[in-house]
Structures are given as structure tokens and as C-alpha cells.
Copies of this chain bind each other. A is one copy, B any other.
């Protein structure tokens, strides 16, 4: 039994971490905080927790919190996490950071986030928390940079193809469709119901911040520089993400052959399900779960991969708990099935 806390408890990712932890048999939630006006039970903010978790959600006080947790989840906006994480790391506590702050090299970070990184020391020690690729590193990490939702679906969908040298590395096109909770919980006209509902749009075409994260990890996997084309779209659903990925095959391969390679690549990984020929994943089948479901189709020289996740589970809170499980020596699936 370990003691855990959540900073940023009132966002969607924070709420989801709490939801999972309530049913996790090896942890006790001891600290919750968020930028709020009055400190009150988390169940007053999210009445769904009434009777399940009535812990007070307090204003941020990292040093004090650090004394009362073994592990902390930082479910904070980008640029804020790197100001908070050191307090926990300095106190010797394990940090799972759900923001982008510890995912990129500092120079790339500066280009895409517009400011100098404020915690370069810890940045070099951070491990990218995608367990299907970095399980052993995560096991030994003190600081995990939990992947973004777009990168999770994109990287899991592309990794076997670049690792097994199936494709032209310069041909990767990722057309991603995301539910709205991916944009966070905040007042924002562009996210208001009447603007999003019955609407559909692409945004920040090939300019969105997940792009360098996808490039970095896929380049590591491929052992060569990968630069993807990445188009995010906003879809009027609360949860779920589906990435349709197009790649040019350099090997002779049919759908069955591609599926076999992907199945082999993800063998033993409890949260990746590769679909048989003729079947395709959809959001309905992964939502509220920690699975990444992947379907494949070869047509001519094009390999089409469809990777589907719940953006708040495998794309955020679920994966964060999966990382905690690995780091803490729990079963990787504890609390996630």
C-alpha cells in the first residue's frame, strides 16, 4: 500500500486518475490539490465521488504534499509542471507527470512551447512513460513523462512499421481525430458546446505540439530521423481518439502479413489489442478502458493503420496508473481492467 496524491485534481485527467485510484487496491489517496478558490471535499467539486472519495482538495502546496505521499501525479497544464515537480523529486518522491514538460529535449521544448525549460536537470532523467516501448526504463525511473494522447495513439500505431523497416520513413501521415476532453477542463469559447457540437474541424495542421513528441519517439524506435505529417481534428465526442495512419510500404506485404508483425511486436503487452483481418477498432470499444486497439489494412503499397484509444485512459490517466503500477512493482493491469 502506497500513499499517492494528485496535483491538478479538478481537471479531466486529474478527475480520471482519482476515479481509477479509488478502485485500486494497493494505493491510498492522501493528497489532492488544485488551483481553486475554496478548499472543499473533492466530492463537492465532482459529486460523482460523493461517498467514494471525500478528501479535501486543497490549494497547491508542493512541499507539504511531498511529505504525505510516496508518489505524485501531476495533472497540470504544460509549463506549470516543471515548476512543481522539483519539490517532489527533491523530497525523494516518485513523479508521474501528465504534462508535456518532461517529454522533449530542451531546445525542441523551447521551439514548441515558447519558453526556456525551467528544470533541465530533471529533464535529462525523465523516462518516456509508454510502457509498450520503455517498460524496463520506467521500472527504474523516478520521473516519468506520461505521453500525450495524440502521441500514444500515433506511436503505438507506427512503431512496429518503423522498427521492422516495413515502410518508407518519410511517408508517415497521421490523421487524428480527438474527443473534446483532450483539450482540458477550462472556460474557452472554442470548446463551448454550441461551437463544438454539430461541428468538425482540423486545427493546427502539422503545427500542433504533439508532433515533435511523435517524431522524437518514432526516431528512437526507427534508429533514424522520422518527420511525420500530423493533422489533428476536433470531434464532438467527450472521450476517445482515433488515428488513421497512412504509410508507404517498402516491403511486399499483405494485410495478414502486417497484422502478424504487429501481433508479434505487441505480444505480451496487456493493453494493446491487434484486430484480425477485416475488423477495425472504433471508439465505442475502447472508451473507458486502457486499451489501444489497432486495425490494419494493406491496399496496394499503402499500409493503413487505425489506432484507437480513450484519450483520458490510455491517453492520460490510465497510462499514468499503468506507469505507477510498473514503478511500484504492482501488477501492470491493477486497477485498469
Contacts and interface: CB of A to CB of B under 8 A. Distances in A.
Contact of A199 (B47, B189, B195, B237): B237
Given A199-B284, A206-B304, A177 B180 contact: no
A302 interface: yes
**What's the interface size class on A, roughly?**
35 or more
Contact of A194 (B180, B246, B306): B180
A287 B198 contact: yes
A175 B50 contact: no
Contacts of A202: 242, 244, 280, 282, 295, 306
A244 B253 CA distance: 26
A44 B23 CA distance: 28
Copies of this chain present in the complex amount to 4
A186 B186 contact: no
Contact of A200 (B177, B206, B227): B177
B198 A240 contact: yes
Interface string A318-337: 00000000000000000001
A313 interface: no
Contact of A47 (B50, B205, B281): B281
Interface stretch (A98-106, A139-147, A217-225, A228-236): A228-236
Given A194-B238, A198-B238, A284-B195, A297 B205 contact: yes
Given A185-B194, A187-B187, A187-B189, 14 more contacts: A47-B285, A48-B284, A48-B285, A48-B289, A51-B273, A185-B195, A192-B192, A193-B236, A198-B240, A199-B237, A202-B306, A229-B300, A229-B302, A231-B244
13 contacts: A47-B279, A47-B293, A50-B273, A177-B177, A177-B233, A186-B189, A187-B188, A197-B238, A198-B284, A201-B280, A202-B280, A202-B282, A229-B304
